[in-house]
Chains A and B, each alone.
Chain A
Amino acid sequence: MPRNARMRLVSIPLLALLAAAPTLAQGDTLAQVKARGHLVCGVSGGVAGFSMPDGQGRWHGLDVDFCRALAAAIFDDPDKVRFIPQSSAARFTALQSGEIDVLARNTTWTLSRDTAAMNFPVITFFDGQGFLVRKSLGISQVKQLDRATICLQQGTTTELNTADWFRTRGLSYQVVTFANSEQTLGAYESGRCDAYSTDKSSLYGERLKTAHPDEHVILEEAISKEPFAPGVRQGDDAWRDLVAWTHYAMIDAEEAGITQENVDRLRGETLSPEVKRILGLEGKYGQGLGLTGDWAYRIVHHVGNYGDVFARNLGDGTPLKIPRGLNALWTNGGLQYGPPIR
């Protein structure tokens, strides 16, 4: 391939001048991160509630807080992380080439992605394709959308999911597709469609963009499974463990009632062996991960438990007001279940 050769030739003098960050795509990611002094995290950059910059360029969101938790566990400093927005086209390459250490980019875990090039250690958010409809329609279930017109964005799996779901139930429907979410929402608002369908987590943000958010409702039902998971490179089990347990620590902390607010108090006065194990007062569980004993304490202290993070970025503390739903703890009827720390 002459083009590649040329690109390579062109880049050689530059390498001499500008090659800066040393990167090893293989091997011990944790050691590299420690040596570098900061974590590099690929995010989507511009998805409400998951990763978005504020007016000063600081990043916020569920994916962002996950990376901050990882940095807190490693460095005891949630700010030792650098966020690199990844386009959906470049995200997997960026991970493979070692440009990023972890991909926290609301990426759906699928078999083909898992086997192709990366590993998904843990599901951080359970999403699914949902429907936004007008309240005035009085619809509460997706099957009531029989013979409805549905607005979708082109070239996404939503089209396929919708076709599958309606056909298997013998319902008829009509689809109108648009190039981007603006046009799709515009068509839905202007009355061209009865419903607007995309991932539920996005629908809450889309609803806010309508002229009268109160007049629209998001159906509770989801017609597809979209488990969002951080991605890591294959072949580094220790790093994979650390990424998974960062999430589990936040889940276990919530289940044990440890919040960002009370964690320092609990650390001093708790008698519960479970809380002691999580906070590193008993046992040396951080060592197995290549970290210090207080790794989970650092996460909760700096970033919070899963409930704190959810409320701050997606839940009632935000205009999105996404209900916990499947993301509630298993003890509350949800799917978030953390293996025990012991």
Chain B
Amino acid sequence: MTRVRETLLPPAPPPRRTGGPAGWLRTNLFSGPGNTLTTLVILAGLALLLPPVFRFLVTDAVWSGNSGEACRPEVAGRAVGACWAFVGAKINYLVYGSYPAAERWRPNLFFGLVALGTAWMLWLDAPRRGLGAVFVFLVGPLLSYGLLSGTAVLGLAPVATSLWGGILVTLVVSLVGIVASLPLGILLALGRRSELPVLRYACIGFIEFWRGVPLITVLFMANVMLPLFLPGDLTVDRLVRPLVGIALFASAYMAEVVRGGLQAVPEGQGRAALALGLTRWQAMRLVVLPQALKVVVPGIVNTLIGLFKDTTLVSIVGIADFIRVLEAARADPRWSAPTIPATAYAFAALFYLAVCFSMARYAAFIERRLAAGERGRA
């Protein structure tokens, strides 16, 4: 026997909303006692931490002044946070070091070239990306070198590397590390998996050697010891020495990251490619490497971010990188006030945060994009 409803049910109220701000809060922040507690603890932490930071960096900050006096509480007549006037007064030194003022358009053009190269490589739908790679890995570095140090060919006055400094040097050091370590690292990783024993052991030896010594040792060797071993009439530029050290050091790490990716690609992929009639090199370039590199994007970016921050170590061997010039700038007695050291380090932190965060965001974007490709195939 079946029962058939003969009358309409009375209309019920709509279900409790799960959309909207309230719904979002409930599902994401307060979905249970444990989560609610975690949320509250984190919020309390932020409430405790953020206002003083904001006060120091913005509200109480001194934005203009001609000397450190402006950043003393008794002169300002109030509590004083960051002394941005100090950064303003020293900004040219912080960006260019002692690069001659009349020639500062050259570092500026270099910054432009870096931006162009980065955009070209980062914008995946950009026209002629193959050409972009040539620009980034070959033309760009050579052009930048000629531009910054000056060449007769371009009709530019030479500017000794001892005059370079600040953000310019930090960028040069980390870009050289990045641009050199990627291709070198890939070659080393391939070499390490080679079937030729001589090549394989050479690559293993190289990688293990450079991973086995601390970067600071490499830098000290490059800048303190190396000049003593070279014949008297030969010198390598004192900026180039640590640059080479950093590039080799970074490529050893990069090689291991890439090797991880190569191992993650099933062997069948390479064999299938060979069976299709591709040469060994084609199989590697078109089938194995793209898959391997895709897997290790997080690892590569991780290494690059680490490298970018490690470059501050060159300040210890007397290279005027960003941190070194900050240290030198705040020795100025005309700009000595209690909050100046904190201001200098806050400025450095913001700079590094901005750069590293951008790198991390770009990596996340790439990963999403590659993951989308994965879904499409399935």
Contacts and interface: CB of A to CB of B under 8 A. Distances in A.
Interface of A: 3-4, 6-8, 10-11, 14-15, 18-26, 40, 45-49, 52-59, 82-87, 89-90, 93-94, 96-99, 182, 204-205, 208-212, 318-320
18 contacts: A7-B226, A7-B229, A8-B226, A10-B248, A15-B236, A19-B234, A21-B237, A22-B233, A52-B331, A57-B93, A87-B318, A89-B220, A97-B235, A99-B238, A182-B341, A204-B333, A318-B334, A319-B334
B305 interface: no
A84 B318 contact: yes
Interface stretch (B26-34, B108-116, B159-167, B280-288): B159-167
Residue from B248, B328, B333, B340 with most neighbouring chain A CB atoms (10 Å): B333
Contacts of B101: 56-57
A99 B235 contact: yes
B344 to A, nearest CB: 11
Contacts of B72: 211
A204 to B, nearest CB: 8
B73 interface: yes
Contacts of A210: 338
B21 interface: no
Nearest to B149: A20
B228 A96 contact: yes
B259 interface: no
Contact of B228 (A10, A86, A97, A182): A97
A252 B349 CA distance: 49
B316 interface: yes
Contact of B224 (A23, A85, A93): A93
B240 to A, nearest CB: 5
A19 B222 CA distance: 15
Interface of B: 68, 72-74, 89-93, 96-99, 101, 160, 162-163, 165, 209, 213, 220-230, 232-238, 240-241, 244, 248, 316-318, 320, 324-325, 327-329, 331-334, 336-338, 340-341
B336 A15 contact: no
Nearest to B334: A319
Nearest to A8: B229
Contacts of A204: 333
Given A48-B331, A49-B333, A90-B223, 19 more contacts: A3-B221, A7-B226, A10-B244, A14-B240, A23-B234, A24-B232, A46-B329, A52-B331, A52-B332, A53-B93, A55-B329, A57-B163, A82-B163, A89-B316, A90-B318, A97-B227, A98-B232, A209-B341, A319-B333
